[in-house]
Every structure is written in structure tokens, then in C-alpha cells.
Amino acid sequence: QVAFKLGLSAENRAAALLIAKGFRIVARRFRSPAGEIDIVAKRGPLLIFVEVKARARLDDAAWSVTERQKRRIASAASAWLADHPDDATCDMRFDAVLVAPRSLPRHITGAFE
């Protein structure tokens, strides 16, 4: 329950940061059999799939996205595109937003490259 609330708070902070950068949040916690995407957002022709990581320190959050998670998120992104074929023409990117207490969230563009 505590972890769930912490995750929700981190996602809210991440969504606020993305909105401030001009993105429109099109989905939160998109679930597919392949996995979950924390945030799907759009800005113009760009569609981003965002993993939100909350840790005690931003540097710890940066190291917490594993190869297995990257594959799961990529599979979930494929499921998103199957459900939303109009988005298949968008430019796409996998980003991360790192969240820690008493710090501004950090948006990492192209986090999976």
C-alpha cells in the first residue's frame, strides 16, 4: 500500500513535468499481457513511452531500469500500437522520469538507447 502510494505520487510528479514540457498525457498505467507502461504522452508528432522510477536518490533511480524491464516496456509499447494503430506513424521514443524526495524530477530522453 505504501509502495503503491509512493509510485502514484511519483507518476503524478512525472506527469506534471511532462505537461510543463508541452506533452499531453494520453495514458497512465497502460497494461497489456506483455507488461505495463507508466505514462504514454504525445507532443506534436512525437509519442513517448515513459518509465517512472522513484528512489531515495535520483542516481539510484537512474540505475534501476533493468534490461528485462526495457524488454517488457518495449513489448507493452507494441501492444499499445496494436490498440492504437493511428500512433504507428508517430516518431517514438522511450524515456524515463526519475523521482526522488526533495529533488526536482529528472526527464531522461531516449533512456533505452
- Overall average pLDDT of the 82-93 stretch: 95
**81-96 per-residue burial string, b: 16 or more CB within 10 A, e: under 16:** beeeeeeeeeeeebbb
What SS3 state is found at 54?
A: strand
Q: How many other C-beta atoms can be found within 10 angstroms of the C-beta atom of residue 3?
A: 8
Encoded amino acid at 107, one letter: H
pLDDT at 2: 67
Residue with the bigger pLDDT between 30 and 57: it is: 30
Per-residue pLDDT tens digits for 44-87: 999 999 999 888 887 777 777 788 888 999 999 999 999 999 99
Closest CA to 52 of 74, 36, 68, 33: 36
Q: Where are the alpha helices (DSSP H) in the chain?
A: 2-20, 58-62, 67-83
